[in-house]
Amino acid sequence: SGRVLILDNHPIFGGEAKRNDFDVNGFHISGPQGSNDFGIPTIDGGPDDYFSALNMPREFNYLEPGGSASGMRIPIDNYDWLTWQERRFDVGHFFQDETKPWVKDVWDSGLNMTPWNKKIRDAFTYVRSLDRRNEDSSETERWLDSITLKSYYEDKLGLPPEVTSFYDPIMASIIGLGCDAVSAYWGKYFEMPGFYKTSEYNETLLQSFPGGNAGIARHFVKKLNPEAIEGNSFENVLFGKIAFNKLDQEDKPVRIRLNSTVVSVRHKGQGKKHERVQIVYAKDGQLNQLNAKAVVMASGGWVNRYILKDLPPDYHRAYSEFGHSAVLVANIALTNWRFLQRLGISAAIWSKGFGFSCNIRRPMVIGNKSQPLHPDKPIVMTFYAPIFKPGLTRKEQGVKGRTEILGASFSDYERQIREQMTIMFSDSGFDPVKDIAGIILNRWGHAYVNPGLGFRFGMNGNIAPPDIIREPYGRIAIGHSELRGHQYWSGAAGEGRRAVEALLNLHF
């Protein structure tokens, strides 16, 4: 009858793309729980072009900073400024223990003010000057996929390990682990220094809703079920009240059932006419069972390999190549950000202590729901703190990171964050008691898949692991963003659509 039921274990939809909200001194301010930015997909109606499918706007405006911060260059998202678009923003590099710890414009006028020795400074200048875009070929990409990014930087380019260590957390914040654990292909994919001349990087800025990609998830749900979110304007879709009682209605073609943890999915019955998929899920302390004609698993491998009870052995073997690592995303609600304005920075990067980077963002203009951008008013500062342990194997790093992130108490992290902010910002007037209104920690135990050697193209003539997982088996198809190696929204939409279309072709 063409009906779909979506089961999600969380109390709210969105997966890795959810939002943190704070009310501070009469202002509503938001930050991303995880997924924060998006590029606008090309209009081609293809699987990754979810913007067309959802009728989403393609042009956005952002607030200009007011008051004494007027003219400050503040990022729109949480990633672009880390390397690629750094020169377009006021980014401060913090060198603890130096008499003048803050260095701005570090790669041009600031390089000689850093404590890095000449060898390291020259190595940074060299790696940032390389442009390998003309050397693209499928052989090169396959070769890059067979060595680590660390090996590319140190053995191929002859860079000192300090340069690799600098790029480790940047890679880890977008793909989960540092240069020793992912293949060099991903350095090229992300247009990192050593592949793309940084001064020529001229892409359009990545965009971000106030609560990150929760804005996209909301557009998705609104499209599937217009009654699910109150109101119809862009502003309503982003901030309208969710009608939880309308998500799972008998008469709707698409139903979303929250708080429903799937524990078992397996085929039952024989022959095309009788075969079905049996799903068991836990909700409100009870196990429930239902049968479906076909199932798309939109969850990641760390879940699928346990709940797909008749997953064939070659899929298990392929999944054994997947590793996942942890990222802590901490949103700090500030009552004001005068301490940043005094320093003249909107984003900070450092190498010692808690995390490695944090920033505030220019809020998107969203009618009456626009959030303020004035140093005397509240804002969210976000820390992306990936947990990576260079020297251990890829999988050991994931396990250790998860143990750490799930083992620490809220107050452990709160103390570390307050200390780190005090070390960096107290000289410019930061006072944790007055300036911090609230902290939300988002602990992603399996934040990202970490694509090791051969993940993209396969090794020794074998099929790449994600290509095995992509093939439907029986009436089940798997469509999670991790199959792209780099997890992002258009990949998630594309993989989901591929899985649905494969099942439609086979069974409907």
Ligand X SMILES: Cc1cc2nc3c(=O)[nH]c(=O)nc-3n(C[C@H](O)[C@H](O)[C@H](O)COP(=O)(O)OP(=O)(O)OC[C@H]3O[C@@H](n4cnc5c(N)ncnc54)[C@H](O)[C@@H]3O)c2cc1C
Sign of CA dihedral 489, 492, 494, 497: negative
Using CB under 6 A as the binding rule, the residues of this chain from 38 to 97 that contact ligand X are 38
Closest to ligand X by CB, 9 vs 151, is 9
Question: Considering the rule CB under 6 A, would residue 383 count as an interface residue with ligand X?
Answer: no
- Residue 241: Cβ within 10 Å count: 9
CB 184 within 8 A of CB 120: no
Sole binder of ligand X in the list 36, 183, 382, 420 (CB under 6 A): 36
Sole binder of ligand X in the list 116, 195, 383, 489 (CB under 6 A): 489
Question: Considering the rule CB under 6 A, would residue 261 count as an interface residue with ligand X?
Answer: yes
- Residue 98: Cβ within 10 Å count: 12
Length of the chain: 508
Tell me how far apart the alpha carbons of residues 363 and 304 are, in angstroms, rounded to a whole number. 37
* Contacting range for ligand X; rule: CB under 6 A; set: 8-16, 109-117, 218-226, 401-409: 8-16
Q: Which amino acid is at 84?
A: W
Question: Considering the rule CB under 6 A, would residue 35 count as an interface residue with ligand X?
Answer: yes
Sole binder of ligand X in the list 31, 37, 331, 457 (CB under 6 A): 37
Q: Which amino acid is at 315?
A: Y
Question: Considering the rule CB under 6 A, would residue 17 count as an interface residue with ligand X?
Answer: yes
Closest to ligand X by CB, 146 vs 481, is 481
Question: Considering the rule CB under 6 A, would residue 405 count as an interface residue with ligand X?
Answer: no
Closest to ligand X by CB, 81 vs 153, is 81
Q: Residue 500 Cβ, how far from ligand X at the closest point, in Å?
A: 13
Tell me how far apart the alpha carbons of residues 203 and 205 are, in angstroms, rounded to a whole number. 6
Q: Is 258 helix (H, G, I), strand (E, B) or coil?
A: coil
Q: How far apart are the first and last CA of the chain?
A: 10
**How many residues in the shown chain lie near ligand X by CB under 6 A?**
30
* Contacting range for ligand X; rule: CB under 6 A; set: 58-66, 86-94, 470-478, 482-490: 482-490
CB 116 within 8 A of CB 163: no
Window 94-133: contact mask with ligand X (x via CB under 6 A): ----------------------------------------
Question: Considering the rule CB under 6 A, would residue 481 count as an interface residue with ligand X?
Answer: yes
Window 201-240: contact mask with ligand X (x via CB under 6 A): ------------x---------------------------
Question: Considering the rule CB under 6 A, would residue 487 count as an interface residue with ligand X?
Answer: yes
Structure tokens at 302: 């760390």
* Contacting range for ligand X; rule: CB under 6 A; set: 46-54, 242-250, 294-302, 348-356: 294-302
Locate tokens 């008998």: which residue? 250
Name 448's Cβ contacts closer than 8 Å, sequence gap at least 6.
Answer: 174, 175, 176, 324, 325, 327, 482, 487
* Contacting range for ligand X; rule: CB under 6 A; set: 7-15, 268-276, 389-397, 413-421: 7-15
Question: Considering the rule CB under 6 A, would residue 279 count as an interface residue with ligand X?
Answer: no
* Contacting range for ligand X; rule: CB under 6 A; set: 134-142, 246-254, 400-408, 487-495: 487-495
Locate tokens 């913007």: which residue? 51
CB 489 within 8 A of CB 307: no
Structure tokens at 83: 């390397």
DSSP assignments along 158-211, one per residue: ---HHHHHHHHHHHHHHHSS-TTTSBTHHHHHTT-TTTS-GGG--PPPPB--TT
Sole binder of ligand X in the list 181, 318, 329, 332 (CB under 6 A): 329
Q: What does each C-alpha distance from 128 to 124, 181, 196, 422, 481 come to in angstroms?
A: 6, 22, 8, 32, 30
Window 409-448: contact mask with ligand X (x via CB under 6 A): -----------------------------------x--x-
Site for ligand X, rule CB under 6 A: 7-10, 15-17, 34-38, 213, 261-262, 298-300, 303, 307, 327, 329, 444, 447, 480-481, 487-489, 492
